[in-house]
Chains A and B, each alone.
Chain A
Amino acid sequence: MTNTQRNSFDAAAARKRCLAYRRRILDISQQVSALHIGSAYSCTEIVDGIYHGLMCYDGKGASPDTFLMSKGHGCMIQYVILEEKGVLSRADLDAYCTPQGRLGVHPDYGNPGIVAATGSLGHGLSMVCGMALAEKGRKRDGIIYTVLSDGEVQEGSTWEAVLMASSLKLDNVVAVVDNNDFQSLGRTSETHPSFYPLLDKFWAFGWEAAEVDGHDSLAIFEAVTGRKGGKPFMLVAKTTKGKGVSYMENVPIWHYRSPNKDEYRRAVAELEAAR
């Protein structure tokens, strides 16, 4: 299957969008005690790039492509993009994690723009394989995009899916690992040194794979659109957990917690200075 990429990519516009998304997430963080802010910030450019660069749309905004957020805990970035696209409403995000709302900390199937319920890690890639099979079975050329966390790549079930995607020749699968090198208990490179090199493992399992700076929007776009094809494609995106707010970067507590008022003010100042 060939996918002729019809889109071009404006890196300056992406930078602006990503700053605005980080700011919006920061504001929502003040409504709740926890929302995985660091996890959303580490994949901001990746998810933005998928929605605004890689996925194709018709005149009415419908896409033949699919995006499944396998690292469900990072879905805050997905929510704010869906809000901007009008798929979710401002009221939806204002009611985040409240009895009046429908959005929780992990994406729930049935909510607008959410194609699968995730949150438990290691489920997404197999579902992606099933979706990709269905697309091929119906002779449709939609691409299934997904974002995995690096901790998620430790799940045995992820490797079952990695093996199946290449065995089934699912060249309509594009996956990105948000490789921020952090999980709850510390740096993956320290707790699991054999985890690296990651890139070689995907090649060994029959995927085409590439590695980029996961905060370089243009690099992400070019790596994916420049893939040779004929195989499932894995992009290892080297990222910084908490990217964009200096005191959050590479500090594990920001995996989960929300900033207090003082921390919020400092973060706003940093993000606004960067605009």
Chain B
Amino acid sequence: MRNTFSEALYREATQNPDIYIVVADISPAGSMSKFSAQYPERFINVGVAEQSMIGICAGLALKGCQPFAYTIATFSLYRPFEMVRDDLCYQNLPVTVVGMGAGVIYSTLGGTHHTMEDIAIAGAIPNMQIVAPCDPAECTEATRWCARQKNGPVYLRIGKAGEPDLTKNAEPWIFGKLRYLRRGSEICILSYGVITKMAVELANRLAEQGKSVSVAVAHTVKPLDRDGIVAALKNHKQVIVIEENVPQGGLAPQAKQLAWESRAQCRLDTFTLQDKFIHNYGSYEDLLASHGLSVPKILAATGLG
């Protein structure tokens, strides 16, 4: 996904001289090296200095440019948090903060490299928008949108490498709209971001059982498509939310809130990371499973297994 981000951004940068990328000492993946070679004056490496990464982006945006801040998610959002809040969000500047390898993708690097609560934190800041693509193709759409929007700041939460294509037969990507990867009538699985792969695998298993299953991605986590979520709750007998974020502040609690407000009649189960740090190691999937996020565990917990 980071390679498709780089390629999409490079393509946008060839057409718009106002696009800058400010990185914090991260190896130039994919087309990032093409960007830096071709436009060295618009490729800024601040080194291990994330506060200045955000501040420099703010200064560029205050002069009308369209900057991207790019590094591993924990260092792009947590380390310079007050700069994100004051410089970008308070001033409502069109800067994209890219959180690469978000969630627990950097599984073996340990808790210092995980962002388990980035959605909750970014989502709590007024003016901040959050876009979290589920696959490389969606990352391209999201990056293009970020490069052209002037609404204000965006937290673009992306994966790292090797994410499968999930959206080949999906509806078009529209900012702020829930996007169905497939449509069914009985069960709807709601997800976003890299963990959507698990939602699709779950849907496949349920389809094998003869169930009619929808998979919908809330790629725009903020502003959330409230009407779209309410419709999904209304049109299915059962809704399952799968989310790579702590129980607070993400899609899961908002789906519950919308279900209450809309008097939804469906069964609603939510699966998120737990409110505890991870001190064990293994693959990305191993870490998710340790917090109850796996297809067999979800099947068992929902009574669908």
Contacts and interface: CB of A to CB of B under 8 A. Distances in A.
Contact of A126 (B17, B41, B55, B90): B55
Interface stretch (A15-23, A131-139, A185-193): A131-139
A126 B91 contact: no
Given A126-B51, A137-B42, A157-B52, A131 B83 contact: no
A117 B63 contact: no
Contact of B56 (A109, A116, A133): A133
Given A133-B20, A137-B17, A116 B51 contact: no
A122 B56 contact: no
Contacts of A122: 51
A-side interface mostly: helix
B44 A117 contact: no
A130 interface: yes
B60 A131 contact: yes
A73 interface: no
A117 B60 contact: no
Interface residues of A, number: 29
Contacts of B52: 126, 129, 157, 160-161, 163-164
A179 B27 CA distance: 39
B91 A116 contact: yes
B206 interface: no
B-side interface mostly: helix
B86 A133 contact: no
B193 interface: no
A127 B59 contact: yes
Contacts of A127: 55-56, 58-59, 62, 87
Interface string A105-138: 0000100000111011011011111111111111
A115 B41 CA distance: 24
Given A130-B59, A130-B61, A134-B65, A123 B49 contact: no
Given A123-B86, A136-B41, A168-B44, A131 B49 contact: no
7 A-B pairs with the lowest CB-CB distances in the bound complex, closest first: A130-B59, A126-B55, A134-B63, A160-B52, A127-B59, A160-B49, A130-B56
Interface of A: 109, 115-117, 119-120, 122-123, 125-138, 156-157, 160-161, 163-164, 168
Interface of B: 17, 20, 41-42, 44, 46-47, 49, 51-52, 54-65, 67, 82-83, 86-87, 90-91
